[in-house]
Chains A and B, each alone.
Chain A
């Protein structure tokens, strides 16, 4: 079914401050949707409105065709996994997981069966009678997940699900979450400040700032075609060149940039006019560095010198200084093992990229 969750013109004001500012969004059934943004951008407030802990100042929220805007949390078929996990400290793992069903007055046998199922799903069978303070952070998170999933919610909300875990555990849990979501087909809405987490987890995502969505799309769309400067800089690193539109052609927008010293071609869905001041953006990994001038005429080639370099193991980072003084960041995979450095400081190099790797950025 399309449009499983429908958020229409939702705003939330705290006094004069608009935490969420007329947001529109539709999420399909079975999607793993992420809301990404820095702290204070309104993402948690939006999630809490979906859960029912906050009532929108204006606008409506529909879940599965039912208007839930003013429904209290205990009447919604929506469950949430809290950032702090909020595992009840005075109850055993088993009782924590069974809590939701007990409130529904499910028969005892049924509860026992479903608790067993959940314990198996999150692999906590051996810990069923432990108290939360005898569990590790990762195990507590599983309890919180099982507790939220046992009621078979229409939507599972996850508030910074991986923020409290260490890096190794985070990567493993990420894939486990995706597998569980895939297995159960529940619609997940994840709130996170970690762009990598959002990119790997989600089928679609929204980037939020100042209470508004800056862009909604698949991770690929957002990374490759950022809608504006905020999105481009929030997701990964990006090089920008200021320039003036020379021509709008069918195969891209031609932009003359004094910073780059050449005419660049960029893709963009935005409408631009000739003579307009815009920015052209290229991701560091789309740029190649070489000592000789590449011979492909379609590529953009600029000469520069190595200003700084860094070895990160799997890749190397270069900062290339152009004639105009502009610094361009380049990231290149270390495909071959080599003890000696391919480039040294102040080496003369060429940077190049496929003409259509660049995108147009408006503010």
Chain B
């Protein structure tokens, strides 16, 4: 009994170590004074100062944030609509096709999604003149398309577990279907929408492959910038940047957890 529990604890410890030691190392080395990122040279916060002076990084980070905010918001709106259609409109023509096509961006290799979108944007430009240049707009559209799928799935599963007679009761009491949607359905699926939004936001912030395909010259997202820098060798200010991102993400996770706890 005791031996078994010790085994379980050590497996758990190993698992956590595997997940978190790399992150801890990144945080530690962000305070490294040495110019060589992998050699410890004493404590310093100089890389944070350097980071703030590096306009390329700041531009990339700002672009990434703008794209993530916009695409997550649009994806949440469309994804919620798709989720509601899938969960509440039981019988309509092409339902199976629709449900399959909603989820396909989740399983489609990113390279293919990126390539196909690039082809689309290029031919659109030749036909209509839009988009004149690839950058914020095209990346946002690309991120919206695949993030929507995740939101739709989350919202759909939340609706599936929700008692349908709640909406029927509201209609029975004189609520028109659209009002019922705002009075009952949306407030009750709000946690799912928040979760979907957060997921869409992180997916967009994280994406390298699709963004590389559909971005144009001069518009680098943060992952694209980091990736291109790392190819030339890890510079310490990247560690500082990574630490800041870890801080923001943990803050976001904590916040959404608090929101979810307050609601239930």
Give A contacts to B, CB under 8 Å: 51-53, 72-74, 78-80, 82-84, 86, 88-90, 99-100, 103-104, 144, 147-148, 151
Q: Within 8 Å CB of A90, what residues of B?
A: 187-188
Question: In the complex the two chains form, is B168's CB within 8 Å of A74's CB?
Answer: no
Question: CB of B28 within 8 A of chain A?
Answer: no
Bound-state Cα–Cα, A31 to B187, Å: 38
Question: In the complex the two chains form, is B174's CB within 8 Å of A103's CB?
Answer: yes
Question: In the complex the two chains form, is B179's CB within 8 Å of A103's CB?
Answer: yes
Question: In the complex the two chains form, is A74's CB within 8 Å of B172's CB?
Answer: yes
Q: Within 8 Å CB of A147, what residues of B?
A: 169, 173
Question: CB of B5 within 8 A of chain A?
Answer: no
Question: In the complex the two chains form, is B187's CB within 8 Å of A82's CB?
Answer: no
- Known contacts being A82-B168, A86-B165, A86-B168, is A74 close to B187, with CB within 8 Å? no
Give B contacts to A, CB under 8 Å: 163, 165-166, 168-177, 179, 183-184, 187-188
- Known contacts being A86-B163, A86-B166, A88-B166, is A80 close to B172, with CB within 8 Å? yes
Shortest distance between the CB of A77 and any CB in chain B (Å): 10
Q: Is the interface of B mostly helix, strand, loop or mixed?
A: helix
Q: What are the 7 closest A-B residue pairs judged by CB atoms, nearest first?
A: A100-B173, A103-B174, A86-B169, A86-B165, A82-B165, A73-B171, A86-B166
Which of B165, B166, B169, B183 has the largest count of A CB atoms less than 10 A from its CB? B169
Closest to A103 in B: B174
7 CB-based A-B contacts, threshold 8 Å? A74-B176, A79-B172, A80-B168, A88-B166, A89-B166, A89-B188, A103-B179
Question: In the complex the two chains form, is B188's CB within 8 Å of A103's CB?
Answer: no
Question: In the complex the two chains form, is A82's CB within 8 Å of B169's CB?
Answer: yes
Q: Within 8 Å CB of A144, what residues of B?
A: 169
Closest to A83 in B: B165
Shortest distance between the CB of A187 and any CB in chain B (Å): 16
Q: Which of A84, A103, A151 contacts B165 (CB 8 A)?
A: A84
Bound-state Cα–Cα, A241 to B152, Å: 62
Bound-state Cα–Cα, A144 to B174, Å: 15
Question: In the complex the two chains form, is B184's CB within 8 Å of A88's CB?
Answer: yes
Shortest distance between the CB of A223 and any CB in chain B (Å): 32
Question: In the complex the two chains form, is B163's CB within 8 Å of A100's CB?
Answer: no
- Known contacts being A90-B187, A90-B188, A103-B179, is A151 close to B173, with CB within 8 Å? yes
**Known A90-B187, A100-B174; 10 more pairs at CB < 8 Å:** A73-B171, A73-B172, A74-B171, A74-B172, A74-B176, A74-B177, A86-B165, A88-B169, A89-B166, A151-B174
Bound-state Cα–Cα, A5 to B28, Å: 77
Question: In the complex the two chains form, is B173's CB within 8 Å of A79's CB?
Answer: yes
Shortest distance between the CB of B181 and any CB in chain A (Å): 13
Bound-state Cα–Cα, A74 to B176, Å: 6
Bound-state Cα–Cα, A73 to B174, Å: 7
- Known contacts being A89-B188, A90-B188, is A99 close to B173, with CB within 8 Å? yes
Q: Within 8 Å CB of B166, what residues of A?
A: 86, 88-89
Shortest distance between the CB of B177 and any CB in chain A (Å): 8
Question: In the complex the two chains form, is B173's CB within 8 Å of A53's CB?
Answer: no
Which of A74, A80, A90 has the largest count of B CB atoms less than 10 A from its CB? A74
Closest to B183 in A: A99
Question: In the complex the two chains form, is A53's CB within 8 Å of B168's CB?
Answer: yes
Bound-state Cα–Cα, A74 to B167, Å: 11
Bound-state Cα–Cα, A148 to B168, Å: 12
Closest to B174 in A: A103
Bound-state Cα–Cα, A299 to B246, Å: 92
Question: In the complex the two chains form, is A104's CB within 8 Å of B170's CB?
Answer: no
Closest to A51 in B: B172
Shortest distance between the CB of B164 and any CB in chain A (Å): 9
Question: In the complex the two chains form, is A84's CB within 8 Å of B163's CB?
Answer: yes
Q: Within 8 Å CB of A100, what residues of B?
A: 173-174
Bound-state Cα–Cα, A52 to B179, Å: 17
Bound-state Cα–Cα, A83 to B169, Å: 11
Q: Within 8 Å CB of A73, what residues of B?
A: 168, 171-172
Q: Within 8 Å CB of B173, what residues of A?
A: 74, 79, 99-100, 103, 147-148, 151
Q: Within 8 Å CB of B172, what residues of A?
A: 51-53, 73-74, 78-80, 148
Bound-state Cα–Cα, A176 to B177, Å: 33
Q: Within 8 Å CB of B176, what residues of A?
A: 74
Shortest distance between the CB of A157 and any CB in chain B (Å): 9
Shortest distance between the CB of A201 and any CB in chain B (Å): 21
Q: Within 8 Å CB of A52, what residues of B?
A: 172
Shortest distance between the CB of B63 and any CB in chain A (Å): 38
Bound-state Cα–Cα, A52 to B170, Å: 13
- Known contacts being A53-B168, A82-B165, A86-B168, is A74 close to B174, with CB within 8 Å? yes
Q: Within 8 Å CB of B184, what residues of A?
A: 88
Bound-state Cα–Cα, A74 to B183, Å: 14
Shortest distance between the CB of A171 and any CB in chain B (Å): 25
Shortest distance between the CB of B73 and any CB in chain A (Å): 23
Shortest distance between the CB of A162 and any CB in chain B (Å): 17
Bound-state Cα–Cα, A7 to B44, Å: 84
Shortest distance between the CB of A15 and any CB in chain B (Å): 10
Q: Within 8 Å CB of B183, what residues of A?
A: 99
Q: Within 8 Å CB of B187, what residues of A?
A: 90
Q: Within 8 Å CB of A86, what residues of B?
A: 163, 165-166, 168-169
Bound-state Cα–Cα, A80 to B163, Å: 15
Shortest distance between the CB of B250 and any CB in chain A (Å): 29
Bound-state Cα–Cα, A225 to B195, Å: 61
Question: In the complex the two chains form, is B174's CB within 8 Å of A104's CB?
Answer: yes
Bound-state Cα–Cα, A74 to B173, Å: 6
- Known contacts being A84-B163, A86-B163, A89-B188, is A74 close to B169, with CB within 8 Å? no
Shortest distance between the CB of A133 and any CB in chain B (Å): 9
Bound-state Cα–Cα, A104 to B177, Å: 14
